[in-house]
Amino acid sequence: MLVCGLVRRLFRQLTLQTSLLLLFIFCMASVFISAYFLYAVKRDLEPAGGAGSEGAVDCDGLRSDPSRQPLPRTVLPSDSSRTDPVVLVFVESLYSQLGQEIVAILESSRFKYRTEISPGKGDMPTLTDKDRGRFKLVIYENLLKYVNLDAWNRELLDKYCVEYGVGIVGFFKALLETQNDLRTSVPNFTFNLGYSGKFFHAGTDEEDLGDDLLLSCASEFWWFPHMWNHMQPHLFHNQSVLAEQMLLNKKFATEHGIPTNMGYAVAPHHSGVYPVHVQLYEAWKKVWGIKVTSTEEYPHLKPARFRRGFIHNGISVLPRQTCGLFTHTIFHKEYPGGPRELDKLISGGELFLTILLNPISIFMTHLSNYGNDRLGLYTFKNLVKFLRTWTNLKLQTLPPLQLAQRYFQIFPQERDPVWQDPCEDKRHKDIWSKEKTCDRFPKLLIIGPQKTGTTALYLFLGMHPDMTSNYPSRETFEEIQFFNGHNYHKGIDWYMEFFPLPSNTSSDFYFEKSANYFDSEVAAYRAAALLPKAKIITILISPADRAYSWYQHQRAHGDAVALKYTFHDIITADRRAPAKVRVLQNRCLVPGLYATHLERWLSRYHSSQVLVLDGQLLRSEPASVMDKVQKFLGLANIVNYHKILAFDPKKGFWCQLLDGGKTKCLGKSKGRKYPDMDSDSRSFLKEYYREHNIELSKLLYKMGQPLPSWLREELVSNR
Q: How many CB atoms lie within 10 A of CB 405?
A: 14
Residue 216 Cα distances to 249, 308, 651, 715, angstroms: 18, 37, 81, 82
Closer to ligand A3P by CB, 452 or 484: give it. 452
Residue from the set 456, 496, 536, 540 that interacts with ligand A3P by CB under 6 A? 456
Binding mask 496-535 for ligand A3P (x = CB under 6 A): -------------------x--------------------
Q: Min. distance of Cβ 507 from ligand A3P in angstroms? A: 23
Cβ closest to ligand A3P, residue 134 vs residue 670:
670
Most distant CA atoms of the chain, gap in Å: 121
Q: Does 293 bind ligand A3P (CB under 6 A)?
A: no
Q: Any residues with CB less than 8 A from the CB of 135 and at least 6 apart, and which?
A: 83, 84, 86, 87, 88, 114, 127, 166
Candidate list 173, 291, 436, 451, residue with the active-site label: 451
CB of 8 to ligand A3P, least distance (A): 59
Which residues are within 8 A (CB) of 223 and not within 5 positions of it... i.e. 6 or more apart?
A: 192, 193, 194, 195, 253, 258, 259, 260, 262
Query: Which three-class secondary structure state does DSSP give residue 513?
Result: strand
State which amino acid sits at residue 558: G
Q: What are phi and psi of 552, to 5 degrees?
A: -65, -35
Q: Of 372 and 455, which has the nearer Cβ to ligand A3P?
A: 455
State which of positions 609-628 bind ligand A3P (CB under 6 A): 618-619
Identify whether the C-beta of residue 303 lies closer than 8 Å to the C-beta of residue 328: no
Q: Which is nearer to ligand A3P, 201 or 664 (CB)?
A: 664
Question: Among 4-12, 377-385, 490-498, 666-674, which window interacts with ligand A3P (CB under 6 A)?
Answer: 666-674
Dihedral of the alpha carbons of 559, 563, 567, 568, in degrees to the nearest 10 = -130
Interface residue with ligand A3P among 111, 236, 517, 654 (CB under 6 A) is 654
The span from the CA of 485 to the CA of 7, in Å, is 42
Which of 14, 235, 602, 666 touches ligand A3P (CB under 6 A)?
Answer: 666
Let me know: does 322 contact 315? Beta carbons within 8 Å: no
Return the number of the residue (468 or 552) whose C-beta is nearest ligand A3P: 552
Check residue 453 for interaction with ligand A3P (CB under 6 A): yes
User: In this complex, which beta carbon is closest to ligand A3P, that of residue 167 or of residue 671?
Assistant: 671
Cα-Cα-Cα-Cα dihedral of 693, 697, 700, 702, to 10°?
Answer: -130
Whether 121 is catalytic is no
* Choice from 452, 469, 470, 481 touching ligand A3P (CB under 6 A): 452
Judged by CB under 6 A, which of 30, 293, 450, 656 binds ligand A3P? 450
538-577: which residues touch ligand A3P (CB under 6 A)?
A: 549, 552
Classify the C-alpha dihedral 25-30-33-37 as positive or negative: negative
CA nearest neighbour of 495 among 518, 519, 471: 471
Q: How far is the CB of 442 from ligand A3P (least distance, A)?
A: 18
Binding residues for ligand A3P, rule CB under 6 A, total: 18
Residue type (1 letter), 434: K
Question: Please, what is the minimum distance in Å from the beta carbon of residue 684 to ligand A3P?
Answer: 19
Closest separation in Å from C-beta 562 to ligand A3P: 13
Which one of residues 197, 376, 671, 708 is an interface residue with ligand A3P (CB under 6 A)?
Answer: 671
**Nearer CB in complex with ligand A3P: 120/472:** 472
The least CB distance from residue 234 to ligand A3P, in Å, is 39
Contacting residue, 295, 454, 542, 554, with ligand A3P by CB under 6 A = 454
Q: Are 317 and 273 in contact (CB under 8 A)?
A: yes
- Rounded Cα distance between 106 and 113, Å, is 7
Rounded Cα distance between 296 and 23, Å, is: 15
The least CB distance from residue 481 to ligand A3P, in Å, is: 14
Shortest CB 448 distance to ligand A3P, Å: 7
The one among 271, 455, 542, 681 contacting ligand A3P by CB under 6 A: 455
Nearer to ligand A3P, 400 or 448 (CB): 448
Peptide bond before 268: cis, by omega within 30 degrees of 0?
no
Q: Does 469 bind ligand A3P (CB under 6 A)?
A: no
Interface segment toward ligand A3P; rule CB under 6 A; list 128-136, 237-245, 558-566, 667-675: 667-675
Closest CA to 645 of 456, 421, 495: 456
Contact yes or no for 276/493 (Cβ under 8 A): yes
Among 670, 682, 686, 692, binds ligand A3P (CB under 6 A): 670
DSSP 307-329: ---EEETTEEEEE----GGG-S-
Per-residue contact flags (x/-) with ligand A3P for residues 73 to 92, judged by CB under 6 A:
--------------------
Amino acid in the structure at residue 677: M
Q: Do 26 and 376 form a contact (C-beta atoms < 8 A)?
A: yes
> Which one of the spans 122-130, 225-233, 378-386, 454-462 is the region binding ligand A3P (CB under 6 A)?
454-462
Q: Which positions touch ligand A3P (CB under 6 A)? A: 450-456, 515, 549, 552, 618-619, 653-654, 666, 670-672
Catalytic residues: 451
